[in-house]
Amino acid sequence: MKRFPYMTDYINGLFDQERDRWDFHYLRPIVVFAYFFLRCIVFPLKFVFHRVPYGFEGFLIDRTLSFGMKYFARHDAVELLVRHVQIEPLLYRHLLRFHPSSPEFPGDCKLNGIEGDFNVDSIQEIYWNNMTIGHDQLSYEIAERFDKQVFLDNLEQLRLCRPEDHECYSKQALEENKQHSFQLLGATNVAIMIVVTITIFADLKTAVNALNSFFSDSIVLWCMKHLYANDPAALIDLDFFSQEGTNRGHYNSSAFFSDPSRYLYYHIVFDEVVYNLLRNHPPQAPTNTVAGIATHS
């Protein structure tokens, strides 16, 4: 049994359970092997026949994934996915808190946009609101809006804030999974199936963008390094998400050679670790800043 010290107890517990499941040992290797050949066939065909979107791709992707979530995914896998759909925009919202482009109140765009409405009341909402492609676009949105100087100018104020609690957002869709699912597929296979579905149904540009939406993690990691500059223990944990293989070194991912498993192990897990740090282990202000505040008080 492996428990990684730089991951949260929630993630370690989920992975411990997953390693004992049949689908992790028998289905996962087959799917990963098949995906290698699938993309070698699909991407050249997309280059010729499906370079631009026709308009129905998002619905097909989310309709397929919603069907799998409702009838085949295990409850813990769907819970992790819904948590991620809510946690990631809350992280970006937090890091952009003092940016001039950030509105005073969240918007009402369902499951899209950093300031969108991320209550997941039903599985039907997922495919009627193009959640998957909308979620991938968050990575590009924060890259466009993030301003280094604004962040650094407001660093001390940001250290005093915490991201919103994802538990305040509805996860009612999980009840549909409880009622209808055969509980077959764990988190690893669900994450891989998301990649496979995008590869099959998305147009070429959307597929490449979705499979290369990792550079936002490099922005989050950079921000966290600054926020926790005075906390060596937190920095040690964050260092385990800095390898080049996780796309923080070259900021570019090949659609042909990317590992579909890393979307879970690097991206989703990374957001869970960052969110847990910010919520339960707030950043420390520099000693001289604390002393100055105390003297001023």
* Tens of pLDDT, residues 57-74: 999 999 999 999 999 999
Quote the pLDDT of residue 251: 52
More confident residue, 166 or 106: 166
Helix, coil or strand: residue 110:
strand
Whole-model pTM above 0.85? yes
Residue 294 has pLDDT above 50, yes or no: no
Question: Which amino acid is located at 71 in the chain?
Answer: Y
The band of 266, judged by pLDDT with boundaries at 50, 70 and 90, is confident
Nearest Cα to 131, choosing from 69, 214, 204, 54? 69
Question: In the chain, where are the structural domains located?
Answer: 9-296
Render pLDDT for 112-154 as a digit per residue (tens, 0 to 9). 999 999 999 999 999 999 999 999 999 999 999 999 999 999 9
